[in-house]
Structure 1
Amino acid sequence: MDHKDASSNVELSDCTHVEQALNQCLASDADLDMYREALEQYPNDDSIDKEAEKHLRHKIDRRILPLLGICYFFYYVDKTTLSYAAIFGIKEDLHLQATEYSWLSSVFYFGWLVWSIPSNLIMQRTPPAWYLSINIFLWGALLMCQTATGSFTVLVVLRVLSGAFEAIADPAFMLFTSMFYKREEQPSRIAAWYAWNGIGVAGGGLIGYGIGQIRGSLSSWRYEFLIVGALCTSWGIALFILLPNSPTKIRGFTHQEKLMLIARMRSSQTGIQSNKVEWYQIREALVDYKTWLFMLMGFVSAVPNGGISNFSTLVIQGLGFDTLGTALLGIPQGVLVVIWIGLGAVANHYMPPNSRTLVCAAFMIPTMAGALGFLLAPPDAYVGRLICFYLTGSYQASFVICLSLVTSNTGGHSKRMIVSGIIWFGSCVGSIASPFFYKTSQAPSYQLGIGSLLVTNVIEFFLFFVFRFAFKWENRRKEKIRSALRESGSLGDDSEALNATAFQNLTDKENPNFVYCY
C-alpha cells in the first residue's frame, strides 16, 4: 500500500483485501488465524451480541484494571519516597546544600527524558507486558540501592537510572488501555487505573507513617527506600506472570471470548498491535501539529504534578504540623485525588458524546481556585490554606481524560507509541523544571511554586479548547475526503472496507474512516 496522507492522494486499492492487511501486520501465524476467524464469525458490529459483549467487557475490567492500578500505585509511591525521605532527615544525614534537594527531584526525570522515546520503540519490538514487568523490577531494585547511599553524587546517579526505567510506565498503561478497550470505553478505564495515583498518595502517607514508627538501626528515610523498593520488585515478578501481552494471549478467556475481544475493536479504527516499527509513521507523528500540542499539554500538567509530588509534605509541614502529622495528612490529599478522578470519569460518561474537552476544562476550575486561595490567604489561616492546597488536586481528573484523547485520536501502532512517548517527554521537561519553582528561601509558603501551578493551570484550561477546535476541524476535513472517495468508488460503506481499515496498521491521517473524538 502506498502510505500517503488521506487529504492528498489516497491509495485504497487494497483496503478491501482484509487478508492482505492482516498478513502485513501480524507476524505470528497463530495470531493471523485468530484474527481471520474473528472476522469470519463477527463480520460487522451488528453480529456481536451486546449482552455477551457487556459480560466480556466486565471480565476484561476484572482482569486488566487491577493489574494496571496496582502498577500505578507503586509507580506513584516510588516517586514520593524522596518527599517522605525529606521529612525523615535525608537532608541532614547527607548534608544536602542549597538546591541539592531540588536537583534530586529533577535528575530523576533526566533519565526519563533521555530514555522515554527509545524505551517506547523497544516495547514495540518486545512482548509489552514482559518489558513493563522487567522495568518495574529494576526500578524497585534501584530504589533499594538508594538505601545504602552515603552521598549526594551516588544518589543522583541512582535516581537518573530509576527515571530511565520508569519512563515506560505511562506509555505502557496507555498501550494496554487502547489494546483492550474501545475508544468510548477508554476515558473511564484510564480513570480507573490513574485513580490509583491518589491511592498511592494516601498509601504513601500510611507507609510513611508506619516507617516513621520503626526504631531500628537505620535512619527512617533508609527504611523508606528499602521497603518501598522491595514491594516494587515483588510486584514486577507478579506482573510478569499475570499481565497478558496481547488480546490473543490473555489467559483465563475462552477461545470464543478472545475472538469477540478482537472483533469488537473494529469500531475504534486505530489499527492493531504490530511488532514492526514503521518509520514513516514516526515521521508523520513528528510533523503532526497535534503531537506537539500533546507535548505542551504534558509539560503544563507536569509543572504542578512534579512540584506537588516532591514538595507536598514540605508545604503541609510548613503549615505547622509535625513530621508524623504531615505523613498522615497526605492520606486525605490522596483520597481527594481519587474522588476528583472518579467525578471526572462519571461526568464524562453522562455528558453527550464529544464532551471530553469540556469536562477537562471544567475540572481545571477548582485547582485554579485552590492555588489562588492558597496565595491570597493570610499566613496564619492554616486550615483554609490546607483546604486550598487539597483543592489543587482536581487537575488530575482533567489530565486523565486528556490521556484518552491521545489513545483515541492516534492511529497506527508506531505513531501511537511515539505520540505517547512525546506527551511524557513534555511531562519530563515540566517535572524537571517544577522543583526549582519551590525555593527554599520561600518556605513554607512557596509562593513561586504555587504561582507556577496557577499559571500552568490557566494555560492548560485554554489548551483544552484548542484541542476541541482542532479535532472538529480535522473531522470536517475527513468528511470531505470520504465524500470524494465514495463518489469515485474508492471507498465503500460495507463491513469488509471497515474491517480493512480497522485491522490494518493505518495512521489516523491515512485512514479515511477515522473520526476524531473531542
Structure 2
Amino acid sequence: MEKPAGYTVHSNHIPVVNDCHVLRKIDFFLMPLLIITFMLQYVDKVILNGASQFGIIEDLHLYTVQGYTPGPEPQPILSLRRYSFATLIFYWGCVAGLLPAAWLAQRLPIGRYLACTVIAWGVVTMLTVIVGSYHGFLAQRFFLGVIECAVAPGFSIMIAMWWKRAEQPLRYALWYTSTGLGGLLGSLLIFGIGHIQGNLRSWKYQYLILGAGTVVWGIVLIFFLPQNPASAKFLTPEERLVAVERIRLEQTGIENKEFKLYQIKELLRDPVTWILVPTTFCLHFANGGLFGFGSVIISSFGYSRFQSVLLTGAVGGGVFVTCVIVGITGTFFKDCRTWLVIACEACVVLGACLMWKLNWDTQRAGAIFGFVMCGWFAGGYMMILALVGANIAGHTKKTFISGLLWCAWGISNGVAPLTIKKPEAEEHYPTCFLAIIVTTVIAICGAASLRSYLVLENKRRDREYGPVDQTVAMQLGFEDKTDRENELFRYSL
C-alpha cells in the first residue's frame, strides 16, 4: 500500500491537525471537481434527448417508415427503432470499455487519467457535427461510450479513497445530485441554444458548444484533480498524514498499484457481488427505458418541442432534491442505506404506474409527476454506490466491482430503450412500463436480500471473532486486505 513519506504502518503518531479541518478542506476542494465533471457527463447524455426535438432524427435518418395511414391523405407511420439503437449503443460502448478502464484506473495516476478522459470525451462530442449518416452516428456514439465509461467508477474509487465510510453517503449524494443538475442545466442550455439562428442546424450548435465546454473543464482537471491523499498538493504535509490516517482505521484501503488476481477470484465468489450486479441492472431499467426518450414521451402529452425540453429538465430538479434528501438521511441515520434503496425504488414503481395508467389528455399533471418519481431511482443507486464504497475492501477488488456495477448499468441502459415502441404511444407504452415495474420490484428484493445477508455475516463474525479491536484494526489499515480476509471488518447496512 502506498503511504506518505515518513509514515509507517505501525506508527501511532497523528499530527496535531484537526480532523474536521482536513475534512472541510477535502470537501471544498474535491467535491466541486467531482460534481461539475459528473454534471457535464449528464449534460452530454441529455444532448441527444434534446437534439431529438431539433432535427437530428430527420437529418441523420434515425427513423424508418413502417407504412402509411389509410385515407385520402395518408401519413407515414414512423418507427424510432434507429433512434433507440443510437441511444443504447452509447451504453454498449460503456460496457466494452469499463473493465479496461477499471484496470487503467488502478495502474495509472487516477487524477491525470480521469482528466484526459474528460478532454477526449469533449472532443468526440464536438465531432458529432461532422457525422452525416445513421451508421456514422452509431460509431461515434459507441466510441463516446468507451471514453466516458471511466469517469463514474473512477470517482467511486476516489470517494472511497478520501472519505470515511460514515461520511460517504452525503458525498455520494453531493456527487450524484449533479445528475439532476445536469439534466436541469442541460435542458436549459439546449432550450437556449435551440434559439440560435445560424448556418448550422440547432442540434449541431448544441454538440459544439457543450463539447467545447467539456474540453476546457478537462484541462482544468489536469492541474487540480489530485492522485491520492498522500500526494495532494492542496494539503500541507501534516494534513496529508491526517487524510491518510482518517482512512487507515476504515480498513478499506487508499491506493495500491499492484494488480492482485486473488482479489478478483474472491470478488467472483462473493455473494455480495451477485446480489449487487443484478440489483444494479434492474434498478437502472427506468433510466434506460424513459430518460433517453424523455422529451419524445413528453411530446406525446401534446407539448411543443421547447416545452418538452423544459419539462424534461424538471425531472433533473426532482433527482437533485431526492439525492440531497437521501444523502442526508444516509449520513445521519446509521445502517439505513438498504432501506433507502427500497424506499426510492418503491417510488419508481408508483411513478411508472401513474404514467402508464393516467389519462395523458386530462391528467397530465399526474403523469408528469409520475415521470419525475421515476427519476428517483437515482437516490437508490447512489446508496448502492455508498454501500460498495463502505463494504468492499482491497483496492483491486474495489476497483473491479465498481467496473462490474457500471457494466450492469451500461447493459441495462443498453437494453431498456428497446422496450419503447412508437406504435404503442396511444396505449402509453405498456411494454416499457411493465418492464420497469417488474425490474424495479426485483431491485427491491435484491436490496432486501443484501441487507439480510450482511446482517447475518456481521453476526457470524461477532460470534466467531468477538468485538473489533480498534488498535489491531489500525495496524491492518495499510495491508490491502479484502473485507472477507479481514476478520475485524464489519459491514455497513
Q: Same fold (TM over 0.5)?
A: yes
Residue 473 (structure 2) aligns with: 498
1:78 partner letter: D
CA–CA separation in structure 1 for the residues paired with 2:336 and 2:360: 39
From 426, 434, 455, the counterpart of 1:472: 455
Secondary structure of residue in 2 paired with 1:218 = coil
Residue 517 (structure 1) aligns with: 492
* Percent of residue pairs bearing the same amino acid type: 31
Whether 2:338 is the aligned partner of 1:362: answer: no
Whether 2:155 is the aligned partner of 1:189: answer: no
Residue 206 (structure 2) aligns with: 224
From 326, 332, 335, the counterpart of 2:308: 326
126-135 or 439-448: bigger deviation: 439-448
CA–CA separation in structure 1 for the residues paired with 2:40 and 2:461: 41
CA–CA separation in structure 1 for the residues paired with 2:10 and 2:244: 7
1:35 partner letter: Y
What CA deviation, in whole Å up to 9, does each residue of 1:410-446 have, x standing for no partner? Answer: 0100000111100111111101101001112123632
From 227, 240, 243, the counterpart of 1:261: 243
2:39 partner letter: F
1:83 partner letter: N
Whether 2:73 is the aligned partner of 1:90: answer: no
CA–CA separation in structure 1 for the residues paired with 2:281 and 2:341: 16
From 423, 428, 441, the counterpart of 1:458: 441
Task: Say if 1:517 and 1:339 are closer, same or farther in 2 by CA, change over 3 A.
Answer: same
Deviation at 1:90, TM superposition (A): 1.0
1:39 partner letter: S
Alignment of 1:109-508 (within 5 A): 109-351=91-333, 353-380=334-361, 381-443=363-425, 445-483=428-466, 493=469, 495=471, 497-508=472-483
Residue 8 (structure 2) aligns with: 36
Secondary structure of residue in 2 paired with 1:321 = coil
CA–CA separation in structure 1 for the residues paired with 2:237 and 2:313: 43
1:146 partner letter: T
1:74 partner letter: L
Check conservation: 1:271, 1:501, Cα contact below 8 A: no
What CA deviation, in whole Å up to 9, does each residue of 1:344-384 have, x standing for no partner? Answer: 11222332x21111122122222221111111112312222
Secondary structure of residue in 1 paired with 2:483 = coil
RMSD (Å), alpha carbons: 1.8
Whether 2:51 is the aligned partner of 1:69: answer: no
Q: Which runs of 4+ in 1 moved over 4 A?
A: none
Aligned length: 475
Secondary structure of residue in 2 paired with 1:87 = coil
CA–CA separation in structure 2 for the residues paired with 1:446 and 1:237: 43
444-453 or 230-239: bigger deviation: 444-453
Q: TM-score, normalised by structure 2?
A: 0.93
Deviation at 1:38, TM superposition (A): 9.4
Deviation at 1:48, TM superposition (A): 7.5
2:341 partner letter: C
Q: TM-score, normalised by structure 1?
A: 0.88
362-371 or 132-141: bigger deviation: 362-371
Q: Unmatched 5+ residue regions in structure 1?
A: 1-24, 487-491
CA–CA separation in structure 2 for the residues paired with 1:389 and 1:38: 54
Secondary structure of residue in 2 paired with 1:35 = coil
CA–CA separation in structure 2 for the residues paired with 1:38 and 1:254: 22
Task: Say if 1:386 and 1:493 are closer, same or farther in 2 by CA, change over 3 A.
Answer: closer
91-100 or 203-212: bigger deviation: 91-100
